[in-house]
Structure 1
Amino acid sequence: MNTRPRPEALTLLRHGSAIAVADLAAVYTWRTWLFGWLVRMLSQVVFFTLIGRLTGGDERFLVTGNALMVCAVEATMVVASSAWERSLGTLPLLVAAPARLAWTFVVRSLQWVISGTATSLVALFALGPVFGLRWTAGSACAAVPLVLLTSLGTYCVGLALAAFVADRPGLRNVVSNVAYLGMMAVCGVQVPVHYWPPPVRAVAQALPLTHELDALRGVLDGAPPVHVLLQALLGAVTGAGWLAVAVLGFGWVARRGRRTGAIEFGT
């Protein structure tokens, strides 16, 4: 029998994912998710798409952007759920544990990725045809990994922001809301990215949602596969960059907390 210990990363992934699934079950029942959260998010997609119809916008453009956006909304909840560790008094225990704090937080809130991916897929497949999207077996199969990549990428953005507010938990909801509203504004969800001046476009290019949304629209519009793959890859790379920032940020939080004693209970 192999008695070698599991690598730290695999152990963290297994235990952290189990906690994330348990948290998902604690936050939602199937009824509250289906008739509460899902209905709320679908209503948001319909609202923005109908506003676009009233103003002469492209319904297909808007429903695609807003349906994908809902997974980003949910993924950025990692900012708030990471800050909860301090108020629950578990942050000092996580810092004291032998595992790296950063990787603990990476897997700790994966429930938002699971739920967000499911919500966006329902919005795309249920509401998309109402507003002109035409799905084929191929485009539907391509959409699933693109939605998952979007959710993971924006989750990494949220993790980086969560590290920023780790010592300022009172800012968690403000930062989370500004993050997803900012992405909704500049990443091509409501208006094309080229609508914005160059500095704002540069910010948009640094966000995974911009590239994954471009890839998804490419799938629906019959763009060359090379274009779709390139945009999906760019989204994955930018997401990895944000993950690196998050790992460095949480590492700094742990070192600072140990050095200054700033990791306190119940604040």
Structure 2
Amino acid sequence: MASDRLASDGPIDEPASLFATFRFAAVISWRDFRALYRWYTYVGGWLVRVLAQAAFLASVGLLVGSESVAHRIAIGAACASAATGALLAIPLATMERALGTAAVLVVSPAGLVPSMLGRAVDRLVDGGVMSTTALVAVFAYLPEVQLLRPSSLLLPVFAVAMAYSSTCLAMTLAGAALLWPDARNLISSTLTVPLTLLSGAVLPHEPTGRLALVSHLLPLGNGIRGCRELALGHAAGALLPLLGELLVGSAWLVAAIGSLRVAQSWATRRAGLV
């Protein structure tokens, strides 16, 4: 029976086999992350950059003479930092082409999808850690927000949820970046500002009309609303936005799977990704 399975030319579609491939790729992503950073370079470099970015954006509110706007933007900027690391999944996905392993993944029994999604796990963790750190710093700094209360325990949950949805969005676009690797940095860099604006992270007021609908469908939007509810101590009011953020992330996960399958199909027909 085992030999028949090994001799089969069909792709592996058993959930256990696909999950094993995903898990192995996730381990590789963690090793790549450890090779890229040391604790002192991560804390003293990457995290400081994120906190400085949140402080800079919050200063915009102070320039217009409104502390409430500054505090609102500070929370939004801390949430948006979840996408900073997550969107790096787009250029990092094209490293498989540079290393010459993308074509091997395409023709492998498990296919391209579980490997690519597994390699993006470190981006999810990175985004969650950065957003959690920024949110805790903002909550500890703002005078009207109490960090030490039960509702603040949800901050890491929101951070991971926003990193999850942002990573799934990045992997959706990674399918295009795999086919056109020269556009990888252009895609990831030009996405940051529109995502930050359309999600309402740095807007002085809550988005309305069509912009409100867009913010509900994009990553970060629901999570930002939930974190602002937590800042007011409304843990119950933050649960619905948390659920919305997870649903948005799951929708983008489905889109990412479809995008990577299109990239694999295109590569198979045209002998690409080499």
Q: Same fold (TM over 0.5)?
A: yes
Give the structure 2 partner of residue 87 of structure 1. 98
Q: Closer, same or farther in 2 for the Cα pair 1:137/1:12, shift >3 Å?
A: farther
Encode CA deviations 1:170-216: one digit per residue, 9 max, x unaligned.
111111112221111111111157446x4433322211210011111
Q: Provide the C-alpha distance between the structure 2 equivalents of 1:11 and 1:251, rounded to a whole number of angstroms.
A: 19
Give the structure 1 partner of residue 203 of structure 2. 191
Q: Provide the C-alpha distance between the structure 2 equivalents of 1:102 and 1:41, rounded to a whole number of angstroms.
A: 30
Give the structure 2 partner of residue 260 of structure 1. 270
Determine if the alignment matches structure 1 residue 178 to structure 2 residue 190: yes
Residue from 28, 51, 74 that aligns with 1:42:
51
Determine if the alignment matches structure 1 residue 98 to structure 2 residue 99: no
- Aligned AA (1:251): R
Equivalences for 1:1-267 in 2 at 5 Å? 7-57=16-66, 58-132=69-143, 133-191=145-203, 194-195=206-207, 198-223=209-234, 225=236, 227-264=237-274
Q: Closer, same or farther in 2 for the Cα pair 1:73/1:161, shift >3 Å?
A: same
Q: Secondary structure at the match of 2:220?
A: helix
Tell me the matched-pair count: 258
Aligned partners of 1:186 and 1:193 also within 8 Å: no
Name the stretch that deviates more: 108-117 or 156-165. Answer: 108-117
Aligned partners of 2:103 and 2:272 also within 8 Å: no
- Aligned AA (2:200): G
Aligned partners of 1:208 and 1:234 also within 8 Å: no
Q: Closer, same or farther in 2 for the Cα pair 1:261/1:193, shift >3 Å?
A: farther
- Aligned AA (1:223): H
Q: Secondary structure at the match of 1:134?
A: coil
1:56 CA drift (Å): 2.5
Aligned partners of 1:38 and 1:119 also within 8 Å: yes
- Aligned AA (1:52): G
Q: Provide the C-alpha distance between the structure 2 equivalents of 1:167 and 1:94, rounded to a whole number of angstroms.
A: 14
- Aligned AA (1:165): A
Name the stretch that deviates more: 8-17 or 124-133. Answer: 124-133
Q: Provide the C-alpha distance between the structure 2 equivalents of 1:22 and 1:128, rounded to a whole number of angstroms.
A: 32
Q: Scaled by the length of structure 2, what TM-score is found?
A: 0.88
Q: Secondary structure at the match of 1:188?
A: coil
Q: Which runs of 4+ in 1 moved over 6 A?
A: none
Unpaired segments ≥5 residues, structure 2: 1-13
Q: Secondary structure at the match of 1:56?
A: coil
1:14 CA drift (Å): 2.1
Encode CA deviations 1:1-42: one digit per residue, 9 max, x unaligned.
xxxx98123302321121111011011111110111111111
- Aligned AA (2:255): V
Q: Secondary structure at the match of 1:183?
A: helix
- Aligned AA (2:129): A
1:47 CA drift (Å): 0.9
* Identical amino acids, percent of aligned pairs: 24
Q: Scaled by the length of structure 1, what TM-score is found?
A: 0.90
Q: Provide the C-alpha distance between the structure 2 equivalents of 1:181 and 1:43, rounded to a whole number of angstroms.
A: 16
Q: Closer, same or farther in 2 for the Cα pair 1:223/1:140, shift >3 Å?
A: closer
